[in-house]
Amino acid sequence: MKNVNVVVIGFGNVGRAFVKLVSLKRKTISEKYGVNISIVAVADSRGVAIKKEGFDEYEMLKMSELPRSGIYMFSPYARQGASIKEIYEEVEPDIHIELTPANYVSGEPGYTNILFALRKGVHVVTANKAPLVLHYNEIMNEARARGLVVKFRATVMGGTPFLEMLGSMKSHEVEKVEGILNATTNYILSEMHENLIDFDQALKKAQAIGVAEADPSLDIEGFDAAAKLCIVSNVVGKPIDLKSVYRESLSKITLKDVLDAIRQGQVLKYVATLDLQNKSAFVKIVRIPKENILAQVNGTLNAVRVKTEATELFFVGKGGGRIETAHSVLDDVLFISLEKVVKK
Ligand SMILES: NC(=O)c1ccc[n+]([C@@H]2O[C@H](COP(=O)([O-])OP(=O)(O)OC[C@H]3O[C@@H](n4cnc5c(N)ncnc54)[C@H](OP(=O)(O)O)[C@@H]3O)[C@@H](O)[C@H]2O)c1
């Protein structure tokens, strides 16, 4: 049995879902793959819980029920504060899982945490896009130099192994990647078309059911989709800068725009495009004929079309969502555990 120690930094929606998922799946995973996943530290912005031999299933379930910012209450293993350096002084992880919020200005705290982990010789799995969007090359070079891997399949179409497939198409010249990469805005647009409500009503509904954040600006202003295009561009080896992605705000859309489109047999979609032939990237509201496959991708589903010199592929599946994202993170952890030599 291979024991794999992991630290989880960030214990919000995804962190909790991940810890709970490990508590439910650990036994099956060890039987199926001979890998024992040991969560040895879990941190939020206020504190950390540490158990060198790894939390058991019951402890993980109890932990995932703590209130927000409440990890410091997880007695007798927890305390307030604790920097990443202090955590690493107490445990020796094989894999660092970064689930902190995305900050597209500084990349922090994820950027510092990821570099810290790599410099300690620890593989990284991240769902936080910002460090990759801002510092992809630096992070990958740091990992490569040490024979480590950074896995991030949760960052684009979190519930669908799209990035893995794209990354594996190494013989292809990717010409264009375009699609619906943000679940929140697709839900809002779907609501506007199906129920003929205006943008504000659709946004409120999305917030009420937890599809949109209280501050939805990263989604509505196209930042999230633009960030995903940056990650895709790096995966296909033709990096673009976040600032170079043209973004149109979805908030300018009116019910009249939707009705006009419907009258002409079209629908409006918020489409993110990486056009590698014309060296441009944009997130725009686009009119699409209703029989087009993208037009039929509704609600929180994501879809992406990849065009290469040899083929055209279409992926449809779940975008984010805490449970789907937790599965993607666990898949990355298992990939590293099975494919890479972990220290023990
Ligand atoms: N939610 C999704 O479906 C989804 C899908 C794909 C990717 N992602 C990405 O995954 C990441 C996590 O998402 P989420 O929805 O779980 O976010 P979240 O609910 O906001 O949780 C973020 C967590 O990070 C903690 N945190 C903040 N600063 C920290 C620091 N300096 N040190 C340690 N912990 C810190 C927060 O602490 P407190 O609890 O104390 O505030 C919180 O526990 C984000 O980058 C997000 O963009 C999310």
**Contact 14 CB / ligand 1 (< 6 Å):** yes
Which tens digits make up the pLDDT trace of 20-55?
A: 999 999 999 999 999 999 999 999 999 999 999 999
pLDDT for 210 equals 87
pLDDT for 214 equals 86
Residues 227 and 102 sit within 8 Å (Cβ to Cβ): yes
| Residue 34 marked ligand-binding | no
What is the average pLDDT across 256-282?
Answer: 97
* Cross-sheet strand order for the sheet of 174-180: 246-247, 280-289, 266-275, 174-180, 301-308, 312-318
The C-alpha atoms of residue 287 and residue 311 are separated, in whole angstroms, by 24
User: What six digits make up the tokens of 161?
Assistant: 């192994």
> Does residue 145 sit within a domain?
yes
User: What six digits make up the tokens of 169?
Assistant: 């198409």
| Residue 121 marked ligand-binding | no
Tell me, yes or no, whether 263 and 138 share the same domain: no
Q: Which domain holds residue 237?
A: 164-319
Residues 247 and 221 sit within 8 Å (Cβ to Cβ): yes
pLDDT for 272 equals 98
The C-alpha atoms of residue 103 and residue 128 are separated, in whole angstroms, by 9
The C-alpha atoms of residue 100 and residue 180 are separated, in whole angstroms, by 24
Say which DSSP state 236 is in: T
> Does residue 74 sit within a domain?
yes
CATH code of the domain in which 126 resides: 3.40.50.720
Residues 110 and 138 sit within 8 Å (Cβ to Cβ): no
What is the average pLDDT across 272-286?
Answer: 97
Tell me, yes or no, whether 65 and 151 share the same domain: yes
Tell whether the model's pLDDT for residue 237 goes beyond 90: yes
Other CB atoms within a 10 A radius of the CB of residue 236 amount to 20
Alpha carbon of 44 to ligand 1 centroid (Å): 8
Closest residue to atom 32 of ligand 1, CA basis = 45
Among the residue ranges 16-30, 89-103, 239-253, 316-330, the one predicted with the least confidence is 316-330
The C-alpha atoms of residue 344 and residue 24 are separated, in whole angstroms, by 24
Tell me, yes or no, whether 114 and 200 share the same domain: no
The C-alpha atoms of residue 37 and residue 17 are separated, in whole angstroms, by 15
The C-alpha atoms of residue 283 and residue 268 are separated, in whole angstroms, by 13
**Contact 300 CB / ligand 1 (< 6 Å):** no
Tell me, yes or no, whether 25 and 145 share the same domain: yes
Q: How many domains does the chain have?
A: 2
Q: Helix (H, G, I), strand (E, B), or coil: what is residue 207?
A: helix
Q: Helix (H, G, I), strand (E, B), or coil: what is residue 272?
A: strand
Closest atom of ligand 1 to 46 CA is 40
Tell me, yes or no, whether 239 and 216 share the same domain: yes
Tell me, yes or no, whether 274 and 329 share the same domain: no
**Contact 213 CB / ligand 1 (< 6 Å):** no
What is the average pLDDT across 177-193?
Answer: 97
Tell me, yes or no, whether 145 and 202 share the same domain: no
Alpha carbon of 117 to ligand 1 centroid (Å): 18
> Does residue 13 sit within a domain?
yes
300: phi then psi, degrees, rounded to nearest 5 = -90, 10
Other CB atoms within a 10 A radius of the CB of residue 297 amount to 21
Q: Tell me which of 135 and 213 has the higher pLDDT.
A: 135
Which tens digits make up the pLDDT trace of 97-128?
A: 999 999 999 999 999 999 999 999 999 999 99
Q: Helix (H, G, I), strand (E, B), or coil: what is residue 70?
A: coil
What is the average pLDDT across 287-301?
Answer: 95
Residues 342 and 95 sit within 8 Å (Cβ to Cβ): yes
| Residues assigned a catalytic role | 228
The C-alpha atoms of residue 199 and residue 192 are separated, in whole angstroms, by 7
CATH code of the domain in which 217 resides: 3.30.360.10
The C-alpha atoms of residue 45 and residue 33 are separated, in whole angstroms, by 33
Residues 228 and 128 sit within 8 Å (Cβ to Cβ): no
Alpha carbon of 15 to ligand 1 centroid (Å): 7
What is the average pLDDT across 327-334?
Answer: 97
The C-alpha atoms of residue 71 and residue 77 are separated, in whole angstroms, by 9
Tell me, yes or no, whether 12 and 64 share the same domain: yes
Question: What is the secondary structure of 80-125 as a DSSP string?
Answer: E---HHHHHHH---SEEEE-PPP-TTT-TTHHHHHHHHHHTT-EEE
Tell me, yes or no, whether 136 and 174 share the same domain: no
> Does residue 344 sit within a domain?
no
Closest atom of ligand 1 to 324 CA is 3
